Amino acid sequence: MAIGVLLQKKFNFQLTPVVKLITYCFMPAAVFLNIYQAEFDYSLLGQLFLYLLLFTAGTILLGNFLAKVLHLKRQESAALKNSISLMNAGNYGLPVSQLIFSANPLGVSIQIIIIVFQNLLTYTYGLYNLISTSKSVVEILKEILRLPIVHALYLGIGFQLLDIPLPTFALVPLEQLANAFFALALFLLGAQLAHISIKSFHRVIVWSLLGRLIAGPMLALLIILLLGIDGVMAQSLLIASALPTSRNTATLALDTQVVPELHAQIVLYSTILSGGTVTFVIYLSMIMF
């Protein structure tokens, strides 16, 4: 991100082609491989999906409630709702999970399932929030179905369920594209932030941070206790609930031109502050479960 800020200030890149490159090339490769290479523990899927449905429904309801109470404009409302319900489960959550559960692969497996679920949520509900500000339902469905990310999700799930081996000549370039995605997406976020003038702290940012970093873990803890989830699964789910806002919200906002600066600021602040909040939630999860 820092490199993105510095180079953008020096060269003033046109960011729209970079967004297209990420959306239509690097991101589909990363999502496909995340699903294709995942090692799932299918015995836990029932309880896990029940938790994910309840947690997601809770964050969506919270975002919609706050947007109505605050009387936000449609574009600001989209930013608030996405920032609370969509979290950075991939290049933030997965390394954290691998660090904490290095001796227990179950925790990492759960995080991978969360990544898949969040990818589906991002490119359905999240994309709907952005393009519904200017398009009809039919146009929204057409936009979603045209995205390569949607086809990558379906293909990844199909290859995973059918256990179809991928030949090396296809796997190697896909891995190279997926590895490039993480670096380029963070570079793009930094470039977006390069010319942002933060003259005031927008109220949407405040409520986004409270919803994602504070209310998210509180809701997760309540659901975990109600469902009687314990052990590594409870730890993994509680830690995942505290992750910052997904970087993809800023990428999609720039692609659709829905208050991209506001989205980028939310991602920036939530990522910085999550260093403290995620650390606390990790500590709490180890004590409680």
Does residue 201 carry a pLDDT above 80? no
Residue 162 neighbours by CB distance under 10 Å: 7
Looking at residue 105, its pLDDT comes to 75
* pLDDT tens readout for residues 141-158: 676 677 787 788 788 888
Structure tokens at 64: 């919609």
What range defines the domain where residue 145 resides? 2-196+203-288
Structure tokens at 268: 């920036």
Q: Which residues contact 256 (CB under 8 A, 6 or more apart)?
A: 130, 131
Domain count, the chain: 1
Does residue 219 carry a pLDDT above 70? yes
Residue with tokens 């146009």: 139
Does residue 140 carry a pLDDT above 80? no
61 vs 66: CA distance, rounded Å: 9
* pLDDT tens readout for residues 19-66: 888 878 888 888 788 778 766 666 677 889 999 999 999 999 999 999
* pLDDT tens readout for residues 103-130: 777 787 788 788 878 877 887 788 888 8
The per-residue pLDDT of the chain, averaged, comes to 85
For residue 131, the one-letter residue type is I
**Angle formed at CA 48 by CA 46 and CA 50, multiple of 5 degrees:** 70
Does residue 133 carry a pLDDT above 60? no
CATH code of the domain covering residue 138: 1.20.1530.20
240 vs 237: CA distance, rounded Å: 5
Looking at residue 165, the DSSP 8-state letter turns out to be: P
Closest CA to 245 of 281, 279, 207: 207
268 vs 213: CA distance, rounded Å: 13
Contact 34, 116 (CB under 8 A): yes
38 vs 15: CA distance, rounded Å: 32
Query: Cα 183 vs. chain centroid, distance in angstroms?
Result: 16
123 vs 202: CA distance, rounded Å: 26
71 vs 59: CA distance, rounded Å: 18
Residue with tokens 């994309």: 127
Closest CA to 189 of 94, 273, 97, 270: 270
For residue 208, the one-letter residue type is S
Residue with tokens 């970079």: 18
